[in-house]
Amino acid sequence: MGKYAMLMPVCSYQPQSPALYGRWGPRIPSPIIPVAAALLPRSGRVLIFAADRGDAFDGEGSNWHSTLTAIYDPATNTITATKIADTEHGMFCPGVSLDVDGRPIVSGGMSDTKVSVFDEIGGNWSPLQDMTTGRGYHAQVTLSNGNIFTIGGSWSGGIGGNNVPRKGGEVFDFVHQTWKALPDCLVEPMLTNDSRGAFCSDNHAWLFAWKNESVFQAGPSSAMNWYGTHDTGHYYPARLRGSDFDSMNGNAVMYDAVQGKILTLGGSTSYSESYSTRAAHIVTLSDAYQQVTVEKIRSMHYPRVYANSIVLPNGEVFVNGGVSYAKQWADVNTSLVPEIWNPMTREFVKAAKSPIPRNYHSTAILLPDATVLTGGGGLCWRNCGDSSINHLDVQIYYPPYLFDSGGEALRRRPRILELSSSTIHPGATLVITTDLRIIHFALIRYGSVTHSINTDQRRVALEANPAKIKYVRKDQWHSSIVMPNDLGVVPPGYWMLFAISDQGAPSHAATPYFDSF
């Protein structure tokens, strides 16, 4: 199903053993700092965007209500020249998620009520209806019914509870393309005790779409909550995240959606000028609005805030970048050594040292070839002064599962040859044709990311019944997989489907569409 060979470029950093630590590819220059990114499902290219300038915001001659965008093409390892979005929307520090059609929906930011959608085919931005509340530094998530929920965001559009009302939830109706306030989705339960007060305490919620159109808020506040999106909305307290403190700009990743498993890690008690943590926890969901379980696990090797975490096809989580002391536009105290968390051992192991700091305003996203695109960091305001923190580039990380035990040769990867249907329905059986006998598969939703938040990404582990795997002919096997029947586990939209060999090597992804009917 597409490309079966992977081009391995000459690397700028050679680790001791790629089979243990992975490998970094060369630096790829970018005309803009990728503060935000979205993986486009029809082409596998990556949309990147930031502010109205490539290396600063609110600079001399700035137009707050415009945005530079560019496209990274993995096939050529190049980034196109910048293009100005023409929707009168400054998309710096927004909320972002992919809708059920795989389109990036970007809300708020510099233009606090504006909402825009990117059309991958035409390559253009179009305006959508404005939000009911101005927001920036908020998070949003696509729900099991295709609607989009958002909450918080006092960086822009007024400070909630100060000069404007608190910024509770609202929902975008995908069918009618309209926003509706949810006055009973209160933001107060998820506020952190930030040293900057209300300006930062409602920022960057860790949101997860779940069953019955519910939303689970796993952080960054130590208090976790459920939000309901029906009628005027509602909330239920879930519990504290164990003994964890507020963890602003930490990470939360649903690495096993079938089991409701979320890994949380890192962060700091305040947005800036506070020490970060090495702490990690596993939060387990069951049904919507029920109490959740929390388990403290072995900590990371390094404290991190402003890092990015990516779930890999095998269920491991790649953690990159961050600093040990939260300071927004600085590369001091950088954690240059990434870590990979193993869900079987529940421990973090060190990966190949990164040659480039990836801190505040950096991004990372999984690509369909099972590598990780990292980039950015920097993009300060006009009086920042230190341009050395501006990282106008991206770089590919090649995980250890791509290399054989010797470390230099690429491991043989399975190929997905055909799917019985490109559209998957809840509870349906999908027949996958591969060139090897494959038992293990994984779905990972196409993702989007900004400010260490990727509410789209989640992994669904799939397993074929070994007794029912059929040999068809040479280099062709049929595996039948029964899909989850709850859209809260597998939200509608485009997903990457990986086949995983007995040696742990993932295929290039096929791209099925998970329907809501």
Q: Concatenate the DSSP letters of all residues of 316-343 into one string.
A: -EEEE--BSEE-TT--TTB--S-EEEET
CA distance 199 to 161: 9
Give the model confidence (pLDDT) of 291-333 as tens digits: 999 999 999 999 999 999 999 999 999 999 999 999 999 999 9
Identify the H or E element spanning 200.
Answer: helix 198-201
Rounded CA-CA distance 94/361 in Å is 12
- Tell me if 433 is assigned to some domain: yes
**Pick from 375, 517, 498: which is nearest to 33 by CA?**
375
- Close Cβ partners of 215 (under 8 Å, ≥ 6 residues apart): 141, 143, 149, 207, 208, 209, 226, 227, 228, 229
Total number of domains in the chain: 1
Closest CA to 129 of 164, 52, 181, 187: 181
Q: Are 215 and 208 in contact (CB under 8 A)?
A: yes
The Cα–Cα gap between 512 and 515 comes to: 9
Tokens 């950015």 label which residue?
376
Q: Which of 21, 302, 360, 494 is catalytic?
A: 360
- Residues 332 and 370 sit within 8 Å (Cβ to Cβ): no
Q: Is the residue at 468 inside a domain?
A: yes
Give the Cα separation of 119 and 126 in Å (integer): 8
Question: Which stretches of the chain score pLDDT less than 70?
Answer: 1-15, 59-61, 383, 385, 517
pLDDT at 16: 75
d(CA 64, CA 56) in angstroms, rounded, equals 11
Instruction: Please check whether residue 250 lies inside any domain of the structure.
Output: no
In the structure encoding, which two tokens stand for residue 272, read together? 């800036």
What region, left, alpha or beta, does residue 391 occupy, with left being phi > 0 and alpha being psi -120 to 50 degrees? beta
Query: How many angstroms separate the CA atoms of 306 and 321, rounded?
Result: 7
Is 360 catalytic? The answer is yes
DSSP structure class, residue 388 = G
Q: pLDDT tens digits for 245-286?
A: 999 999 999 999 999 999 999 999 999 999 999 999 999 999
pLDDT at 408: 74
Smallest CA-to-CA distance from 260 within 236, 238, 230, 279 is with 238
Residue 499 lies in a domain: yes
Residue at 168 is within a domain: no
Range of the domain at 466: 416-514
Q: Is residue 328 one of the residues assigned to a domain?
A: no
Q: Is the distance from CB of 264 to CB of 250 less than 8 angstroms?
A: yes
Domain CATH number, residue 462: 2.60.40.10
Q: What is the pTM of this model?
A: 0.96
Residue 358 lies in a domain: no
Judge whether 243 lies within some domain.
no
pLDDT at 6: 47
